[in-house]
Structure 1
Amino acid sequence: MTPPDLQTWLITQISEKPSLETLFTGFCKKLVKQGLPIWRSQLGLETLHPEDIGFSFLWVDGALQERARARPGLLASSDYINSPAKHVDDTGTAFTWKAGEDDRGMGLIKEFIADGVTDYVMLPLPFLDNARTASVSFATKAPGGFGAEGHEALRYAATLFSPLAERIALRRVALDALTVYLGATAAQRAYAGQIERGDVRTLQAAILIADLRGFTLLSDRLERRAMVALLDRWFGVMGEAIEAQGGDILKFMGDGLLAVFPLDGDASASCARALAAAQQTIAGTAKLNEELVQEGQAPLRFGMALHCGDVEFGNIGAKRRIDFTVIGPAVNHASRLEGLTKVVEQPLVLSDTFAHTLGKPLRSLGSHVLRGVREPVEVFVPE
């Protein structure tokens, strides 16, 4: 592709605001159309997420697929250590290979030899945000490879592609980070501009509050990192259940958790999802407790409560440190209700409001007095 052609196409993409998938697919097709014999191209970008170290788009013969790359253990894996990506990440320089050269002990190069690849290059992308890696690679099966002119054209193309790719990628990095720390709904609102202190909006939601029992005793007995690891395992069980049912975890409070399920559309269905998340947590914790007993540890005990009502959802805090959270009488009611699980000796209790909104058969535990609530309230558990 001649420089003006590529520049013109990329400029049009700025106004069209494509997704990274669309941009990369179009980029590969444009290069092929201009005579570069690309068989395979891969775009790899590091993100900011505790579980996924990054994501990549693999384009092979016109077909695109997205791949997530799990963070845990990746940098110590042999697949990464013996890879072109490791060379590019460490040196910030291009990696090249041609047919007839040694495979360097790299699994990827061995695959290329088997596939009949004649030339391969991986290039670092010159992102301004150099705290995270970004690269693009090209492979061809053409006799003679890309040639010196083709390699120069690919380097030039990658340099021109880089600013627009970074512009789109940074949005994903920002949303990933915000989602991890705020939750999906809060992340979208904060990124959209709801960041002013005191900017809160009334939201109808099912509220889930959970708390471990005997946390102080556990903290005294376990070494600090072991305690953190145990909390991570339990929160992991809860997080998977809540995320699977479309809820948002807004806050971890020591050994406790606050999550909401917005009552959008069908309120009964939203409450049903909240109840399903709670029941999945109970089942998941039972499985975790089996593992803990096998490891010689005591099983976990906990309490959960479900309530629903209006909450104020938004930014609350100091001038330079705010929290995106929910407050209101409904949240306080859910907290008081969770404390009742100790009295009734049930892992999960539901408020009368939640039971009414759910509209499905439940078992009543009768009326109980909640701390700070004037009148006794009827409490329910699943049948």
Structure 2
Amino acid sequence: MQDGLPPDWDTRPIADRHRPGLEALALWLVEASRQPVPLKGLFPGFCERVAQTIVPVWRVHIGLEVLHPEISGTMLVWSDEAIEFRERERQGIMQSTGYLTSPTKIVDDTERAYRRRLDADVSDLPLLQELQQQGSTDYLITPLPFLDTSRTRFLSFATRQAGGYDDDDLKALDTAARLFSPYAERQVWKRIALDLLDTYVGARTSQRIVEGQVERGQVDWIEAAIWLADMRAFTRRSEVHAIRDVVDMLNSWFGDMAVAIEAEGGEILKFIGDAVLAIFPVTPEIDRGAACAAALAAAEAFCARADAANAERGLVGPDAVDFGVGLHVGEIAYGNIGAARRLDFTVIGPAVNRASRLEELTKTLHRRVLMSEPFRDACGRPLVDLGEHVLRDVEGTHRIFGVG
């Protein structure tokens, strides 16, 4: 068995002295959950009730792994009635010294509770050594019994009471953790759902989906500045470079583009191979001119970032990563399009087609950024008049503009 845990600790009956507090805690959780209280609001109340009516803990820590490309998990630490919120970056966390020498790893590896009395040397676990120096006498960490056991989820309790926990205290704390578990898991699944939607479809679009816009053919007509970008010579690069190198290059290129677009309030809707479709919506707060100005500012910022990236990698001439960006403004259909059980939340309409044709024209005119006349009129900036040009499959000729 694990250090400090009696053989039958998790199966013995709840002690009479702990039963009233646990029953009151269960009723409080039921009542508190009637309202959509976030975990940050629910957790402090849980900790206070445990400390005041069940076992005198002074520090309670909950750790919950999420599903986010940059964030590994969230943690709430309650101590002396103060609450601290932390997020951990995903990159490298599982190989970090902090994790490898933590009680969390022990619980992750064993899927069992771990108890450690803090009246002896605990230098093998730096966190426990720190708690010992702060006056803790005992420590219990237990995995939360989620339906999904594939990710980290735990509650830990540290106490300063003389002698630490007795066997009944351990049972009571384990029961309290089990009572809290379903409320924590509900919050985790909500966070995962929102994070995944934000990651794959963007913040504005994810909000529309969460609000119930999931019916095929359900679209809104909105006005937006439209961004369509495409990398030059991608097929050649794919043929002559290893696929891993191509993926790394795309991630770097897309990453720089996302920074530029999001900094100006735009939203990437779709990666199409090496192409990017993004919008800068017109809203009650952002008029047509401001949306176009933001799109152009993003294009200029991206050009600067692309040049810096090429210089950093020593890429010159035909080896340098180059691209074209078409910018237009107009009304578009924004919503669900696709098959009955496989929908795509996207934009379509003549305005999107024109942005695409402008991007195509950048190759002929040897310009990185081209804009339509409606875009020029709206953004209010002096631009270079490049004359009348034909856009493929679009009737008539169209005056095109570039950046000086």
Give the Cα separation in 2 of the matches to 1:297 and 1:377.
30
Partner Cα distance (1:146, 1:165) in 2: 25
1:18 corresponds to: 37
When Rg is computed on C-alpha atoms for both structures, the one with the higher figure is 2
* Aligned equivalent of 1:237, options 256, 268, 275: 256
- From 282, 286, 292, the equivalent of 1:271 is 292
Could you say if the C-alpha distance between residues 363 and 297 of structure 1 is closer, same or farther in structure 2, counting changes exceeding 3 Å? closer
Per-residue deviation, 1:231: 0.5
Give distance in 1, aligned partners of 2:391 and 2:316.
38
Q: Which amino acid in 2 is paired with 1:184?
A: A
2:393 aligns with one of 365, 368, 372: 372
Offset at residue 176 of structure 1 (A): 0.9
Counting only pairs closer than 5 Å after superposition, residues 70-81 of structure 1 correspond to structure 2 as 70-81=89-100
Deviations 1:316-355 (A, max 9, x none): 1122222111111111011001112122222222222222
- 1:349 aligned to 2:346? no
| Other-structure match for 1:316 | 337
1:145-160 aligned within 5 A: 145-160=164-179
1:290 aligns to 2:320 (yes or no): no
Moved more, 320-329 or 127-136: 127-136
Q: 1:88 aligns with which of 100, 107, 110?
A: 107
Equivalent residues in 2 for 1:24-43, closer than 5 Å: 24-34=43-53, 36-43=55-62
Question: Per-residue CA shift, 1:206-244, capped at 9, x if unaligned?
Answer: 111111001011001110111111101111111222222
TM-score (norm 2): 0.89
1:206–1:271 CA contact under 8 A, matched in 2: yes
CA-to-aligned-CA distance 1:6-36 (integer Å, 9 cap, x gap)? 0111011121110111011221222233263
Matched, 1:99 2:127: no
Q: Displacement of 1:100 after TM fit? A: 2.5
State yes or no: 1:127 paired with 2:149: no
Q: 1:30-52 CA distances to partner (integer Å, 9 max, x unpaired)? A: 22332633332222111112221
| Offset at residue 57 of structure 1 (A) | 1.7
Matched, 1:327 2:345: no
Q: Distance in 2 between matches of 1:260 and 1:130?
A: 39
Using the alignment, how far apart are the partners of 2:138 and 2:166 within structure 1?
9
Q: 1:116 aligns with which of 135, 156, 172?
A: 135
**Contact 1:292 1:298 (C-alpha < 8 Å) held by counterparts:** no
2:375 and 2:260 map into 1 onto residues whose CA distance is: 19
Report the identity percentage. 45
How many pairs are equivalent?
A: 383
Q: Tell me, in whole angstroms, the C-alpha distance in 1 between the residues paired with 2:34 and 2:227.
A: 43
Larger CA deviation: 349-358 vs 166-175: 349-358
RMSD: 2.1
Q: Distance in 1 between matches of 2:393 and 2:36?
A: 53
Q: Which amino acid aligns with 1:273?
A: A
Name the CA shift for 1:29/1:354 in 2 (closer, same or farther; >3 Å). farther
SS in 2 for 1:50: coil
Aligned-pair distance for 1:143?
A: 3.1
Change (3 A) 1:381 1:62: farther
Indicate the residue corresponding to 1:261 in structure 2.
280
Does the 8 A contact of 2:225 with 2:327 survive in 1? yes
Letter in structure 2 aligned against 1:191:
V
SS in 2 for 1:2: helix
Stretch moving more, 153-162 or 53-62: 53-62
